[in-house]
C-alpha cells in the first residue's frame, strides 16, 4: 500500500523516471528499517488515507487501487491540493518519504543533470 501510494505520487513524466522506474524498493526497505514506531504508523496511515480517499478528491467511491491510470493521477493531484487539511497532511507524509526514495536514486538525479550521491558511509549511526 505504501509503495503503491508513493508510485502514484511520483509517476514518470516529462522525461523524468517515476518511483517504480528508479527501483526504490531497496531504499524504501532501508528507510522503513530506520523509522520508529510512531513514524511507521504515520506512513501506513497516510498511505491508507491516500488509498481510501478518492471519494473526497474526485468523487469516486472506490479505493485508489481500482482507479484507472488517468483517474489515479487526478486523485493524486487532488489529494495534495485538498481543502481537507487532514487528508492533505496524511498524503504529505507519504509524499515526503517517497521524495526521499525517489530523490536519492541515480536515475532521478541524472534526469535533472545532477551527479549521483556517493554511498552513505553510515557515520551518524556510530556517533
Domain boundaries, position 67: 2-7+25-113
pTM attached to this predicted model: 0.88
User: Does the CA dihedral 51-72-69-106 come out positive or negative?
Assistant: negative
Q: Which three cell numbers stand for residue 5?
A: 501510494
Structural domain total, the chain = 1
Q: Is residue 61 part of a domain?
A: yes
- pLDDT above 60: residue 62: yes
Mean pLDDT computed over every residue of the chain: 92
Question: Of 86, 10, 2, 18, which is closest to residue 51 (Cα–Cα)?
Answer: 2
- Residues β-bridged to residue 16: 13
The 10s digit of each residue's pLDDT in 14-36 is: 889 999 899 878 889 988 998 99
Residue 107 C-alpha cell reads as 536515475
Amino acid at each position: 500500500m505504501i509503495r503503491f501510494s508513493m508510485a502514484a505520487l511520483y509517476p514518470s513524466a516529462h522525461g523524468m523516471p517515476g518511483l517504480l522506474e528508479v527501483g526504490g524498493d531497496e531504499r524504501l526497505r532501508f528507510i522503513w528499517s530506520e523509522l520508529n514506531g510512531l513514524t511507521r504508523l504515520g506512513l501506513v496511515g497516510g498511505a491508507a488515507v491516500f488509498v481510501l480517499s478518492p471519494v473526497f478528491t474526485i468523487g469516486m467511491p472506490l479505493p485508489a487501487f481500482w482507479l484507472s491510470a488517468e483517474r489515479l493521477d487526478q486523485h493524486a493531484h487532488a489529494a495534495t491540493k485538498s481543502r481537507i487539511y487532514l487528508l492533505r497532511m496524511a498524503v504529505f507524509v507519504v509524499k515526503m518519504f517517497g521524495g526521499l526514495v525517489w530523490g536519492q536514486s541515480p536515475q532521478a538525479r541524472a534526469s535533472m543533470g545532477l551527479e549521483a550521491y556517493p554511498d552513505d558511509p553510515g557515520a551518524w549511526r556510530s556517533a
